Structure 1
Amino acid sequence: MKHVITFIITIMILVACGNQKPISSPSSASDNNPLNADVTAMHNRHEGLEYMNAYVKNYKTLKDLRLIRYTIEGDPIIYDVSYDEGLFSLTVDTTRDQFGNGSVETFQCQEINKNESLNETKYYLTQCDNHNANGDQFELLKVWHNVLEQDHFEFTLQIDDRVIRSKDSHFSQKDLQKIYKTMVYNNYLAKKSFDKSCSSDANQTTVLKVYINNGDRYYEWDSCDQSRDAKRMNEIKQTILNLYNDSK
């Protein structure tokens, strides 16, 4: 009888454990955009800067912006911006930040601006109420693209048989800065997905190798590729070609 009771108790424990819901973990940048972000920023890697730039110019049409900035630990902080009747409403949600104060705050602001230089680009709201961190200004996002802050930066661009190397060409420091800025804007460190199935009689294959600090990146795509990642890489490619031709 004891064995029967022990067996029944064991079965009950196993069933109870099986019915337990898994403990949910904080969302991370590797999730497939579960928080419906328009723009994400994690460790100076940015996705969706095209929308950020478009919103600054066309906020009356686009109305809403959701920016998610991830902490060092990978927790999302959500910035929701909406425009209506001449005012921007900003809601900052830190409830998913395990090491933050876990609050939801709302501010009213009158303008959105972008301040762009060779070294950095800042997006911010101004004339905001209830915000004392920097007067009446609230910084939404800062993008660093100062190539001098990198320990090492080189690239090799090959288009069919034509090869352009940063160390062999007459690129000025200002040129390299512009190229690096374009790379950062187009999130060059992110994993790329190119269309390998396209074909064209006039197709060209482009290879870009980037050597950054102690690592390197390799990209190969075709001119017939119309994917989003190919268009981004073509912007980098065109920037390099334009500056190379100007340096001759």
Structure 2
Amino acid sequence: MRQMLILLTLALLLTGCTTPSTYSSQEAKRNGDIVVGPGGPLNTDKIIPFITNVDNGQESHLRITSYTDEGDPIISDLHYDGKKIKYSYDTSRDEFGGTSRGKSNTTCEKILSRDVVREDKAIGMQYVLAGCKKIIGPHESGKKEIHLLFVEK
């Protein structure tokens, strides 16, 4: 019986009982990320100081971590250097991301916020990057903006 238990334990370890997501939503929240996904948005107030710093020409950093339905993190990093916003979009930890998984980078001129009513009738504030060298990550076809965050009112 003991040998069977040892074999079963070894089999479980060898078949991959590790989780693909190495960055939990609890860890992201503790790190001060804006967290989007199952469980609702957290730390959304962090975007206001970033926008204020951009408006004032002060260096600033912001991370938005979105989680897929399966719990895999998709990380958006924004770094304002006093002139441009450097944006990186990392889907490398998305186990169901297919062949498009990886990290993309671009630079953008500005971050915009606007009141919107979405197709699902949700009312809130939408935050986008505009004036980007290339459009990466979530965006609306035909528009030259990168969607960062929607905060429902």
Unpaired stretches in structure 1, ≥5 consecutive residues: 1-9, 145-180, 182-248
Structure 2 residue identity aligned to 1:86: K
Tell which has more relative contact order, 1 or 2 (C-alpha 8 A, sep 6+): 2
Alignment of 1:97-176 (within 5 A): 97-100=94-97, 101-117=100-116, 119-131=123-135, 133-134=139-140, 135-144=143-152
> What RMSD, in angstroms, separates the aligned Cα atoms of the two structures?
3.1
Using the alignment, how far apart are the partners of 2:107 and 2:30 within structure 1? 23
Using the alignment, how far apart are the partners of 2:29 and 2:124 within structure 1? 29
* TM-fit CA distance, 1:82: 0.4
Alignment: residue pair count: 133
After superposition, the C-alpha distances for 1:179-231 in whole angstroms (9 at most, x for unaligned) are: xx2xxxxxxxxxxxxxxxxxxxxxxxxxxxxxxxxxxxxxxxxxxxxxxxxxx
* TM-fit CA distance, 1:139: 0.9
Alignment of 1:19-98 (within 5 A): 23-25=17-19, 26=21, 27-29=23-25, 31-33=26-28, 36-43=31-38, 45-59=40-54, 60-61=57-58, 63-98=60-95
Normalising by structure 1, we get a TM-score of 0.46
* TM-fit CA distance, 1:34: 7.9
* TM-fit CA distance, 1:46: 1.2
Using the alignment, how far apart are the partners of 1:97 and 1:53 within structure 2? 28
Structure 1 residue identity aligned to 2:18: S
Structure 1 residue identity aligned to 2:86: S
The percent identity for this pair of structures is: 26
Structure 1 residue identity aligned to 2:144: D
Counterpart of 1:206 in structure 2 is none
2:58 touches 2:80 (CA, 8 Å); kept in 1?
Answer: no
1:129 touches 1:136 (CA, 8 Å); kept in 2?
Answer: no
SS at match of 1:116: strand
Using the alignment, how far apart are the partners of 1:79 and 1:126 within structure 2? 15
The structure number with the bigger radius of gyration is: 1
* TM-fit CA distance, 1:129: 1.3
